Amino acid sequence: MSTPTTTRVALVTGGSGGIGRAAAKRLARDGFAVAVHYAGNRARAEETVAAITAAGGRALAVAGDVADETEMALAFDSVRSAFGGLDVVVNTAGVMILAPIETLDLADLDRMHRTNIRGTFVVGQQAARALRPGGALINFSTSVVRTQLPAYSAYVASKAAVEAMTLVLARELRGRDITVNAVAPGPTATPLFLQGKDEATVDRLAQAAPLERLGDPEDIAEVVAFLAGPARWVNGQVLYANGGLA
């Protein structure tokens, strides 16, 4: 049964870990009721929900493959049924597999494109149908779209598509009072980033930015909170949150 509320409501895809978890907790501190989405790690999503509720917030976990329109329609419906509406969608769910073009397994290319491109399209489509006036959709790109490092070609291609979809959807939602932006993090200390990298590589990337450190998930969550809340005049943009890397 729907529960009417004036509380702002956010859905965070990929909210079970990394940047998604930090964003969910940050929005909860701002007073949002938060739906923590997960694809496979239910236990981790429930931990995020428990952390939010323990701090006095409202949260629930919702499941679904971001690239499956039926599953995501059900997830969006569950959020609106539980909290009475939807105001912000933060789409952090993504896959990153690194290899040179010459050797990349095309199955890995297809996997990244399914989650990063089709998944962004499906979530954007659902968000466009569900968000209330005053709402925001926040997609996720990567600073490697600018830095163009070797071995990132397939991942960068998928995220460049995310940026293009973000800008187009912002224009398609003219007159709806809904902003659509993307965040492009630099090297950030998440499992997705650290996976497969040796200590020397991590240290080198940490020193690349003028601030000489890796980003924390909480650094990126602050950008999300800005776009979800006060940044009503920022629309159709890609915000590079990378400590000055590029």
Show which residues are catalytic.
Answer: 155
Residue 128, burial from CB neighbour count under 10 angstroms (0-12, 13-18, 19+) = middle
- Cβ atoms < 10 Å from Cβ of 95: 17
Q: Helix (H, G, I), strand (E, B), or coil: what is residue 27? A: helix
Q: Which residues have a Cβ under 8 Å from the Cβ of 39 and sit 6 or more positions away?
A: 14, 63, 64, 65, 66, 93
Token pair belonging to 239 = 């915000």
Tell me how far apart the alpha carbons of residues 84 and 203 are, in angstroms, rounded to a whole number: 46
Q: Which residues of 196-219 are buried (b: 16+ CB within 10 A; e: fewer)?
A: eeeeeeeeebbebbeeeebbebeb
β-pairing, 136-140 with 58-63?
A: unpaired
Token pair belonging to 187 = 């090297």
